[in-house]
Amino acid sequence: MRGGMGKTFAIVVVILAIASAVPIVRHTWTPPVDISTHGHLIDAQLNDTMVEVGISFLAAQFVLALFVWMSSAPNSKIKSFPGGAKGLVIAALVLVGSEVIALGAFGQKAWAEVYFRPAVPDAVQIQTQAGQFAFYFRYPGPDGKFGPLHPDKIDEGNQNFFGLDPANDVDSRDDIVTGELAIPIHREVHLMMHAKDVGHSFYVRELRIQQDFVPGLDLSVHFTATQIGRYEIVCTQLCGLGHYNMKAYLNTLSQEDYDKWLKDKAAQQ
């Protein structure tokens, strides 16, 4: 068959495009159920983008296949695309331009929810420290105040992960340090983050939260969980040989259970 190789190409492109789209359409691999108050905005943005991208992807691959098929025919004649380049440029400017500006503008809603407003004043205050290759969390205790940090006093052997000095700092004496993060649901959590050594990141898929720890910078995120459960917190910033194994657990509890958990932890300190 003359032009067979071109036609084969067209068929293979169509098959590959459809095969690529099937797992997306069937939702074979998707983000897990969202357990945050802001996550639905991110999910909606992801879905809208997926629809627009999916249509553009399939349309471009099909048109490529169609035109290659047509121009592989043995009797094909040289013709010019009707309308010329000008029409295409205008179409791209108007259609793609408005599409991407809209995506960019609407997408800011979810971003603004996480980053443009400060945490509410009565948010649960929790501090987290990332170090090779563990996360630690600190609660301020009954006095509601965090004691100051002294990096020179960090001593993992003596379980002084944060470098606290309770002997001299009154505020540190009731601070609660744990290896897992417990939070109450339906209350905003203000997570204050710092790194002990190198860069790390805090990622909880279900919370739709990812934020790097940057050495030397005090950063924070805030979020509100809506469901009770146990979820994995993982590091997503390459931090050394144990990076793949750097994780902690997030327990989202009812307010009652959270209060009880906090009390038990305080008793253990």
Partner 1 sequence: MAEASAHVVQHGPPTTFLRKYVFSVDHKVIGKQYYGLALVAVFVGMFLSWLMRLHLINPNGKIWGLHYLSAVGAPGDVMTPEYYLSLLTMHGTLMVFFVLTNAPFAAFGNYFLPIQIGAEDMAFPRFNMMSFWTTFLAFCFLISAFFVPDGPPISGWTAYAPLSAVGSDAGPGLGMGQTLWGLSIFTFCIGSLLGALNFIATTLDLRAKGMTLSRMPIPSWAWFITSCIALLAFAVLLPACLLLILDRVAGTSFFIPAGLVISDKLQPHAGGSPLLWQHLFWFFGHPEVYIAILPSMGIVSHILINSMRKPLLSHKVVINCMIAIGFLSYMVWGHHMFVSGMNPYSSLEFTFPTLIITIPATILTLIWLASLYGAKLRITTASLFALGFISMFVSGGVSGLFLAQPSIDIYLHATYFVVGHFHMVMGVASLFGVFAGTYFWFPKMTGHMMSETLGKIHFWITFVGAYCIFMPFHYLGLAGNVRRYSAFTDDFLIPLIPVHKFITYAAILTGLGQMIFLYNLIHSRFKGAPAPDNPWDCTSLEWSVPSPPPWDNFGGKHPVVYHDPYQYSVKGESGKDFVMQTSPERVAEPNA
Q: Measured from the CB of residue 43, what is the shortest distance to partner 1 in angstroms?
A: 8
User: What are the b/e assignments for 63-87, b being 16+ CB within 10 Å?
Assistant: eebeebbeebeeeeeeeeeeeeeee
Lookup: tokens for 260: 């009880």
**Interacting positions 23-62 with partner 1 (CB under 8 A):** 23-24, 28-32, 41-42, 45-46, 49-50, 52-53, 56-57, 60-61
Q: Which of 92, 120, 170, 228 binds partner 1 (CB under 8 A)?
A: 92
Q: Pick the closer one to partner 1 by CB: 226 or 265.
A: 226
Q: Measured from the CB of residue 16, what is the shortest distance to partner 1 in angstroms?
A: 5
User: Residues 133-172 vs partner 1: string with x where CB under 8 A?
Assistant: ------------------xx-xxx------x---------
> What is the rounded distance in angstroms from the CA atom of residue 1 to the CA atom of residue 97?
42
User: Residues 192-231 vs partner 1: string with x where CB under 8 A?
Assistant: ---xxxxx-x-x-x--xxxxxxxxxx-x------------
Q: Pick the closer one to partner 1 by CB: 144 or 242.
A: 242
Strand order in the sheet with 219-224: 176-178, 134-139, 124-131, 188-195, 219-224
Q: Does 189 bind partner 1 (CB under 8 A)?
A: no
> What is the rounded distance in angstroms from the CA atom of residue 244 to the CA atom of residue 235?
8
> What is the rounded distance in angstroms from the CA atom of residue 126 to the CA atom of residue 19?
46
Q: Measured from the CB of residue 143, what is the shortest distance to partner 1 in angstroms?
A: 25
3-state secondary structure of 28: coil
